[in-house]
Structure formats: structure tokens, C-alpha cells
Chain A
Amino acid sequence: MLYVIKQSLKVISRRKRNFVLTSFVVALGISLVVQTQILEGTIERNYKDIMIESFGNTDLIVYSVNQIYFPQNVSTTLIQEYAIEFEGIFPQISYSINTYYPEKGQFEQNVALETIGTDFNTTFWGGIYSNSSNQEIDISLLGNEEIVISPELANSLKTNIGSQITINLLDEYGNPFYHNVTIKEIYDYIDYGRTGDPNDFRRVFMSEKAVQSLIPTTIDNPITNIVIGIEDHVDTPFLGREKSDEAKELVQSVLTQDYPDYMLEVYSIREDSRENLEEGVSGFTSIFQMFGIVVVIAGLLLITNIQLMNMEEREQQIGMLRAIGAKKREIFFSYAIETILIGVLGGIFGLLLGIGIGVWLNGISRDMLSAMGNPEISKSIFDIVVEPDTLILSIIAAVVLSVVTGMVPALRARGISIIEIVRGTKTKTKTTTLNGKRPLWPFLIGGLFIFLGLTTLIDLIQTGHPFYSPEGFRNIEEEAARNFEALFYIGLGIIFLSFRFQRYRRASLSIGGLLLISLTIWGFQIAIDWANEGGNANNIAITGLLAAVIGATTIVGTNLESLTAQLRKGFTLSKRTRATGLVATRYINARKSRAVLTFATFAVILSLNFFIGSYAETQITGSSHTWEQYMSGVSLVVESQTPFNLSKLDYPETLQNEFDEIKQIYPLEVGMILPFDGAISEISPEEDIFYSKLVAINCSTFINEEEEVLFPFTFENMLANYSTLSMINRLKYREAAVEESKNFWQVFLNGKKIHRETKLPVDSDNPNGLPIFLGERLYFLEIGDIVSFPASNGSLIEMIYGGSMNYFPSFDMRINEFTIGIIVSSEIASQFSIQGYGIKEFLIETTNGYEYDKNKALSGKIEEFSNSQSSESLLTIGDGTFYGITAHHLWDVFYHSYATNANALNFLQTFIATGLIIGVIGLLVVSHRSVKERKREIGMLRSVGFSKKAVSLAVLLELLFLGILGFLVGFLTGNYLAWVFADLVNWNLVIPWVQVSLYGIFIIGSVVIAALIPGWLAARIPPSEALRYHG
């Protein structure tokens, strides 16, 4: 045994370079696996962290469905009931205000004024800590006129401890008033225990009493919600749906019984939010996982490629060794030791390299995110996470692969006849027929796959819908997946079987390959559709991608000969390339598996590059387009959280006189509150603006699968329907909605058409004949359904549902989950009661068009001009309250909403680009190896009259051909997938040609380097010497 080890070490040291190069390639391959694992772990963990952070220790939350406020007694009741069982029960008030620092004229709106029931304060709930002293700030000790704000807010208001600022609120009639407060403290951070985003700088705190005295309600001791923490969560961040819901039911039953008037609802907020968040990020993580898998495949291809070379070389040597009397066992062990060493060394270095790259990529992505103006997210996302389990597992898998591929020749050596090897020419192109027999294993594996596929199909035929059908597919997810699986198996089976039945090989390989490729499309379709429904079909998407890889590789491999024949024909046209072309193309065919592996590595990674590149470009173009449409000429929005006083409506004229760049200002009227608590509608005073928004409170984030939607969608039913809205299968109505959106009724905004026509008849004498248009959330309505809303006189106004909008002409970018937008005729609008009344938004059309910089500058000037007004300001009302404005540049809002996507895409692009670079380096090494192997042959070429250049050219042509082939296949599949995604949201595919050409240059450049350097070096060897070279 010792002798064998010594022997193999000798072999290794003799073939040092080979050994090192192989280990290097294995390391590169494994680094791809590792890097992917790290990033995957990082993404997953960090999303969870954010989640845990922002929900503090809250498990349940209590809101009133029909009231904003309810009495604090509710929480007292709960405490009496559950004080022991729950970790904490806290009444809370949360209220949105504006803050203004008159001294510096600085203004911030949409600030969350918060407080928490002080009677029950415990350490469990965490706390807020002073910026200066680091001591916990006790909110209950604050005076009525004292406030605690965040350092960022202090900074933005240019204020400090001790300064007096103004907060603006609305009274119960919707009229604005202001209140002066002194900054008592600036807090540093909020303990994680406290619910809410700790990074949100728009959170300010006052004492419970102070807030209660400010908020507009007649209820004594009002609160807005109760947060509840359940004991178990301390150990497990997530209770689990079951436990959480159990507690929820418990609380709900008490509240329903004791406080029926307030319609109190308990929500499993932590579990709900987790589900929402996971749903939200699942799109990204699933795409990342798909990418990761593909990158890993590229790594494995790389390893297989170099090991295949070793394999060919070894079979030769093994024959020789056995011919001179070496024992099988010895040979086996010596090679086993070598390959294990390669695997382990490569594994260790790959691990280190992968971690290095992972950390580096992580840094890059974080810097990039920060640079892209999303510091909040980038701060918390992508802190590096190295999950030891998955890392070790992936390393083991990769090492095992490299060892297995390395040892196959050693294992096979047992069956190889010595004569075959020694006598044969160098290559073993027909390894499958080496023993004159066809191997049995492809037959068995192929048969097994086909059997699996057929049984699945038969089962489907008997019990469900076989093959694709829109209905069965969309509604019964399982069936789609199983159909997909069945076909995937059959495709694989056909491919395997073809190795057994040589006669039909070409045909069956092509069929299998095509089947797999077409399955890709389906896999993605399923995955995307499920994602839209909130489901997760990662595995199908991943299998789909795998299918693409296997399919494309199979088809190209099958047709390699005819492809190269075409190429050869092309080369015969020129005298100079005739011989070179023949040599290069024949060589590719002779080393088919190597060629296929090389090509596949290129194709696999490039397909991702192209996919993500085109998708990013498509998205930015598509959304810009949508956005421009959305903006309908408007570039800026001036908004105030406090409604502008109508009597001061000379504000727009003043602005217009002040700034030449302003072309037109459109006021949008808001603050119309329906006599239904929590619903407001916006209606413009202009005759021809049909614009209305109905805001309903808390209606949709909470899912209850059991409830049914009540029809017709009347006001009474509306409440009951609230909790049901989001469970509606949007896809079910998707097509109808999309179809409908093409048929809009004409809606004008100040003479500008913003919607197209609908087919509904319009009878202006009959209010019921006027269609209304509802936002996307209400897809479950059928065209023509009657929808009722309460009018000012208390009666219900019935309207016909006229279709849904695919975009909403609101310029308030903070439309959130709670918003249901409707567009009604002004006639209908006039029948609604109006309580609080004023202008909230002005839309500004400028002479700059969509020019970013100019409009951006203008928005700054408008803010400065408006907010620095004195007490005689236009923006000061009645008792001297100043209500300041914010001027948004609409593109900014757009970019903001787009930023997260862009960040994700950028991150993916970097990740994939790194993969590409590593892959190309690996191919460089592989190419180097393969040229070295051909030293003798190059001598022969030189002896028959090939110049150095011609030799290099032959080597280059080979790799160039494979590179370009990979490029093309990558380009086609990548863009195909991008197109699938784009088509889903009705965007046109936009291909970033500059980027494509850069990739082209990169690939051609690397290929030229990878081929020319070793090619030239080999050509330089004097032919006489090259000819003496053996193996």
C-alpha cells in the first residue's frame, strides 16, 4: 500500500503542472458553487433579519375595521384576560403629522407620531435610547409639549434639542391645526423589541396623554391599535402559523363578545408579514436560486471538462502500465489517490476562493446599492452569511464529482483490453463501443425515466388534466407541475435511450433535446404564474432551466457534425483557411464531448448574462414608457399632507408668476371624506376632471381564505369583503382585466385624454349608466356589476362597474395596500358628501418636458420658495398654521420605486459576470491543456507545410467556433427567457446591443487569448522536437 502511495506521488510530481492545473480548474469550479451558496444564504438570512427587526416582538395586532380609534379599555380587558399567557399587551397610538421648524423654514411631512401605553411598559418591549446619554428615554415622563425625534429628522429640519417646532394635524372635521412642541430628546435607536422599522427616521414620540389630546376623536383615552407579544417568540422568531392563529382566535373571541361596536379585528401580523415578505422576495430569491444553479452547473461542466481530458490521457497510460505488468489494483489506487488529492486540494482552494469572491461580491453589491440611493436597504441587506452546512455539502458534492469523473478511467481500466489501448491511436473517441459491446446502463436509466414519465402521464390522464391546458394549468398547480415532470422525464429518457440504440440516435437526441428546450418555456411560465399568485415554483423553474441546458447541449452536440461541415465549407472559400478549417472542424468532431462541454459552459453562463441584461434593459424601457404615459405631461407634483385652503388658491398663480418654466398647474382636490369612517375620495373642482380616490382603511393585507366575496359589491357588503379582497385569485380575472383595459371609456384630465374608450354605453342622465373604474384590486367584479357608495344624504349611489384600470392616474405615489381607487364622473362625484375640503396636490407641467436635471432643480426652487414664506404666506391658513409643501419630481418617484428592482438586477448582473469571468479563466486553462496535449500533432502539421500562423489559427478556429456557438445559443436562450418575462407584463423586449457587443468582444477576446497563447507557444516548438513528443 505504501508502495502504491509512493508510486502515485511520483506520478503526481512528474506531472506536476498537469496536477496543478487540474486542481486549479476544480478549484474554480468549486468556487462557483461556494460563492453561490454564500450569496444564497446571505440573501435569505438578511431578509429574515430585516423582517425580525421591523416587527419587533409583535405577534398579534388589534385594529378596528370601522373606526380609526377605539378606547383603551379594550387593552385593559385583554390584559386582565391574558396577562399571564402573553409576553406583553400594549395599547398604541400611531398618527401621521407634518413637522415644521419655522426658524429655518424647514419642513418634513408624513412623520409618524407614536406613543405607547405607559402603564404596561416593560423591558420586554424594548425602548428608545438617547442620542447623547445612551439612557433609555421614558416616554411617559415627557411633558405635553415635548417630543422626541430621530437624529435624521433633526438633521433634515436643521434643528436640535431644545428647539421649538410645529406639528400639523387635522381636527375631526378635517381642518388643519398646528401645535408647538419642544424637542426634548433626540433618540439614537429603537430597541428591536419595539415594533416598526428601526431605521425609519420619520418616527417621533410623545407621551400617551399628549397624543391623546391631539388626535381628533371624541373617544376617551383613544388608541389606534394594540400590539401583543406571545411568550414563545423569544426563542423562535416565528411562532408558526398555527400557534399564532390559535392565539389570534382566542383574542378575537373575547373582543367580538365584549366590544362588538368597534369591529375589532386581530391579525397574526408577524406570520402574515412573514408570508407577505417571503412572497415579495421569493421572486428575487427564486431567480437568484435559478441563476445559482446554472452557475453551479457551469462550474461542474468546467470540472468535467478537465477531468475528461485527464481521463483520455489516463486510459492511454493505464494500458501502457498494464502492458508492462502493473497490477490493476495498483493502477487503480494510484489514480484514485491522485484524483482524490485533486478533488480535495481543488475543494479547499475552491472553498477559499469562493468565500473570497462571495465576500467581495457582497461588498460590491452593497456599495452599488448605497450608490444607487438606497442606503437604508443596503445597510441591512447582504451582510455576509456563511452557512456551514450548505457550504460543506456543496463542497462535498463538487469534490465527489471531480473524484468520480477522475476515477472513471481507473475503474474502467479493469475492463479495458490492453491491446486496444496500446495499439490504438491516441484518442478514445468511441469509448462506448470500446469493448465492442453497447453499455447497458443508458438503457436502464433511459427506461427508468420513460417509465416514470409515462406512469405520471397515465395517472394524470386518469385523474386530471394531461398536458397543458390553461384552465387545468392555472387552477390546479399540482397538475401543471406533474405534467411538466412527466415530459421532462420522457425527454431525459429519450436522450439516454439513444445511447443504446445507435441507429436512431440522431433522431431521438434531437427529439429529446427539442422536447426539453420547449419544456423550459413551460417551466418558466408555471413559475411566473405561480409567483403572481403568491406561490413558489422554484423547483420547476430550475428544472426548466436545466432542461434548457440539457436540451440545447444535446441538440448542438447532435448536430455538431453538420454545423462544423457548414463551417468547413465556409473556410474552403479562402486559400489560406482551407487546410486550417479542415483541421479545426475535424478536431472539434473528434473531441465531441470536450467540445460540447466547452460550448455548454459558454452557453450556460452567457444565457444568464443575456437574460439579465435584456431583462434589465426591457424593464427600464418598459417602465419608463409606462411612466411617461402615467405622467401625461406632468413632471412635478407639489403636495401637502395638510389640504390647501381653497380660499388661498392663488398659490398656483403665484407659483406660475414666479417660475417661467412652469407651463401649467393642475390642482387636484382631496380630502373628501365619505360618511364612512376611513374612506376619503378625491375629486377635482375642475369640471372635466373625473378623478376620485376612495381610501379604505386596513382592508387588504390580511388574508382569510375561508371567507367569500359578497355580491353585489354594495356598501354593506364592502366591509365584509375587505378581508376577502386579497385572497382573490387575481390571475383568474387577469385576462379579462387586460382585455378590459384596452377598452377604456374616455377620461380626460384637463382636456388631456388619459384613458381610452370603453364599450359600455354611457347615459349621462342616469347615474347608473355612468361606469366607474376601479383599481386593480377589484378584479373580481364583473363588468356591469352594480357597485354602491354612500352619498352625502346617506343614501347609496349605485354605479355600474365599467372595468378595471391597469394604471391609475394618481400622482400620490404613496398609494398603498389600503387604497382602492375609483374613477367616477363629476356628476357622480358631486353627490358625495364633502367634509374636510381642500387641495392636496398640484400637478405641474413644465416647459422642460421630461428633462431630469432641469425639473429636479425646479422642484428644489419651488420647495424653497414655498416653504420659506412668512406668516403672510399663501401657505398659511386661518390661525397662522403653516403647512408647507413637498415638490416631487415624478421621475424620482419612479426611480425610487424602480430602485429595488434595479438593485436586484444589478446584483445579479455582477454575480453572473463574475461567474462568466471565472468560467472563462477555467476554459483558458482547459484550452492550454488541450493544446499541450497536441504538441506532437502540431509537429505533424508543421511537417506537411503548416506555418506557425496556420497552426495557431487552427487552434483559434476551434475555440472561436465553440465560443461563438455558445454566444449564439446563450444569446437566443437568454433573450428568449427575457422575452417570456417581458411579455408577461406586456413590455417589448429591448436588447441592450452595446452590452451584447461588449460581451461579444469579451468572449472573442478571451477565446483569442485562450487559444492564441498556447497555440503560438506550441507552434514555436521546432517541428522536429514536437514530433518526438509522445502523449
Chain B
Amino acid sequence: MTDDILILEDLHKIYGEGTPNSVHALRGINLKIKRGEMVAIMGPSGCGKTTMLNICGGLDIPTSGSVKINGVDISTYNDTQMTNFRRDNIGYVFQLFNLFDYMNAQENVMIPLLAQGMSYSEATRRATMILREVGLGDRLYQAPSELSGGQQQRVAVSRALVTHPVLIMGDEPTGDLDSITSEDIMDMFRRINTDNNQTLILVTHSKWIGDQCDRIIYLRDGRVVGE
């Protein structure tokens, strides 16, 4: 077992391959990320950050190249393997919160646990616990539409964390938030990183966020152009 939790080797992604308007979004990415690192990915709009993140998190498959997580190459996984892998190893936080609007905060957090097959009461307990930790103990039964943006994002972060994933992905997790709220969220991320030694990969446009990370990786036109 190496210290690298994520290894990308010559990763390519071509959208709509073979069609006239195919987009070569990733053009040979090589990258290693160590366990417990907190990494920021930055770059201009359209350079392939989201694409890369999605592939790392098993939401998308690369056109070529390999993605090794914890020493396992997931680029060859079939859909079921990928689903199980995602479920057990990855936590996502999206820019647009992406909460289920028809479930309350607690249930939103419970969903990944239930998907793992955890009992309803245990899932409830854990979700409550984590929401208390992020200061939403009094908002457990609120619907997302009744929460502020920052609160929604805290629920989203809780949902990503609740399964104790080895990798946590954030695609502009603070993109929609004001600076004070963003600070709150970043504090949470840092705490996770230091307390649990969990690995975080955050896509961001914010220099300020990048500065708080251990590493910044710059992408341009589908390539890593520097750190």
C-alpha cells in the first residue's frame, strides 16, 4: 500500500468522440495525490476541472488512461462496481448544493448510509450527530428550501462526510456562498482533513481557498500546467 491515494496516469476524456463537435476535455493528466492531502484544483472556466473531478470520483469514465484509488484501478469498473465504489469511498459536495428538495436535512444526510444498507435507526443517529456537529442540530427536519444557502451547503457537506469516505470531492463547494459562509465551510473541510486525515480535492476559482490547501494544481486546456 502506497501513500498515494489517487494516481492519474495519462488520463484523457473526449466528449462525443467521433462526432464533429467532440471536445477533448482532458489531454493526458498525470497526477498523484497523497492520503490526507487537501488539494485545490484551479484553472480557467472550461479547462476540465469538473470533468477530472467526476472521473476521479467515479461519476464518469475516462476515454483512456487509468485512475487508481487506494491502489485499485477504477477506470475498468463496470457500472455496478463503480456504484458500490462511489457509495463506499467517495463523498461529493457540489456547487449547487444538490440536495433532495423533497427530503428534510436529516433524510438528505441519511440517504448514502441507507444506500449502504445501514439500519434506519443507526442512519438516523449518525445523520443527527453529524448535523449537530455542523451546527444544524435545530434544523434537522427542515426542507432544503427552508434553509439558507450556507446551511444547505453544510447539509451537503454532512452528506458527503457521513459515510467516512476516503476521498471527498468538492466542485466549487463555496461558489455560491458569501465569504463569511465560505469561511465556515472551509473551516469544516480543514477540520475533517486534520482530524480524520481524510483526503480532499476541491475545485475552486478562489485564490483564497487555494491558499488554504496543501497543494494547488493548475489545469489549462485539459492539462496540468503546474502546482
Contacts and interface: CB of A to CB of B under 8 A. Distances in A.
Given A427-B102, A579-B111, A582-B103, A945 B88 contact: yes
A583 B94 contact: no
A944 B110 CA distance: 10
**Chain B, interface SS category:** helix
18 contacts: A427-B102, A578-B120, A579-B115, A582-B110, A591-B102, A941-B111, A944-B86, A944-B159, A945-B83, A945-B116, A1022-B59, A1022-B61, A1023-B59, A1024-B51, A1024-B54, A1025-B60, A1027-B54, A1027-B59
Interface string A1000-1027: 0000000000000000000000111101
B76 interface: no
Interface in B108-145: 110-112, 114-120, 123, 144-145
B79 A945 contact: no
Interface of B: 50-51, 54-55, 57, 59-61, 79-80, 83-84, 86-88, 92, 94, 98-103, 107, 110-112, 114-120, 123, 144-145, 159, 163
B155 to A, nearest CB: 12
A579 B118 CA distance: 9
B101 A425 contact: yes
Interface residues on A, range: 35 or more
Nearest to B91: A944
A106 B166 CA distance: 98
Contact of B83 (A590, A591, A937, A942): A942
A590 B116 CA distance: 24
A582 B98 contact: no
Nearest to A950: B115
Contact of A583 (B61, B79, B100, B163): B100
A946 interface: yes
A947 interface: yes
Contacts of B123: 578
Given A578-B123, A586-B102, 19 more contacts: A575-B117, A576-B117, A578-B114, A578-B119, A582-B107, A582-B111, A583-B103, A586-B103, A589-B102, A943-B59, A944-B111, A944-B115, A944-B159, A945-B83, A945-B84, A945-B115, A945-B116, A1023-B60, A1024-B54
Given A945-B84, A947-B79, A1023-B59, A586 B115 contact: no
Contacts of B116: 945
B70 to A, nearest CB: 17
Contacts of A950: 115
B59 A425 contact: no
Nearest to B169: A943
Contacts, number: 98
B59 A587 contact: no
Contacts of A948: 79, 83
Interface in A229-269: none
Contacts of B103: 582-583, 586
Nearest to A940: B98
B120 A572 contact: yes
A635 B100 CA distance: 70
A947 B59 contact: no
A756 interface: no
A939 B99 CA distance: 11
A941 B103 CA distance: 13
The 8 closest A-B CB pairs, nearest first, are A945-B87, A590-B102, A579-B114, A575-B117, A1024-B60, A1024-B54, A425-B101, A579-B115
Contacts of A944: 86-87, 92, 111-112, 115, 159
B60 A943 contact: no
A426 interface: yes
A484 B117 CA distance: 54
B154 to A, nearest CB: 16
A891 to B, nearest CB: 59
A946 B120 contact: no
Interface in A928-962: 936-937, 939-948, 950
Nearest to B83: A947
B196 to A, nearest CB: 19
Nearest to B51: A1024
A586 B100 contact: yes
B80 A947 contact: yes
Contacts of A1022: 59-61
Contacts of A429: 102
A1027 B98 contact: yes
Nearest to A591: B102
A580 B121 CA distance: 16
Contacts of B94: 1027
Most chain B CB inside 10 Å of its own CB: which residue of A429, A583, A591: A583
Name, among B118, B120, B123, the residue most crowded by chain A CB atoms within 10 Å (CB to CB): B120
Main DSSP-derived SS at the A contact region = helix
Nearest to B160: A944
A590 B119 CA distance: 24
Interface in A417-442: 424-427, 429
A950 B117 CA distance: 12
Contacts of B107: 582, 586
A342 to B, nearest CB: 27
B74 to A, nearest CB: 14
A527 to B, nearest CB: 42
Nearest to A430: B145
B146 to A, nearest CB: 10
B86 A945 contact: yes
Contact of B114 (A582, A589, A591): A582
Given A586-B107, A943-B86, A937 B100 contact: yes
A946 B115 contact: yes
Given A425-B144, A589-B102, A947-B80, A942 B59 contact: yes
A430 to B, nearest CB: 9
A1027 B77 CA distance: 20
A1030 to B, nearest CB: 9
B222 to A, nearest CB: 15
Nearest to B85: A945
A950 B115 CA distance: 9
A589 B84 CA distance: 28
A52 B7 CA distance: 91
Contact of A426 (B80, B101, B112, B163): B101
Contacts of A590: 101-102
A1025 B92 CA distance: 15
B102 A943 contact: no
Contacts of B59: 939, 942-943, 1022-1024, 1027
B82 to A, nearest CB: 9
Contacts of B86: 942-945
Nearest to B88: A945
A576 B84 CA distance: 13
A1027 B102 CA distance: 17
A427 B59 CA distance: 25
A590 B57 CA distance: 30
Nearest to B104: A586
Contacts of A939: 59
A174 B188 CA distance: 112
Contacts of A575: 117
A591 B101 CA distance: 11
A271 B105 CA distance: 73
Contacts of B102: 427, 429, 586-587, 589-591
A940 B88 contact: no
Contacts of A426: 101
Nearest to B101: A425
Nearest to A937: B100
Interface in A495-547: none
Contact of B100 (A591, A940, A947, A1027): A940
Contacts of B50: 1024
A610 B17 CA distance: 54
Contact of A578 (B61, B100, B101, B117): B117
Nearest to B57: A943
Nearest to A945: B87
- Which of A425, A576, A591, A939 has the most chain B CB within a 10 Å cutoff? A425
A950 B57 CA distance: 19
A939 B111 CA distance: 14
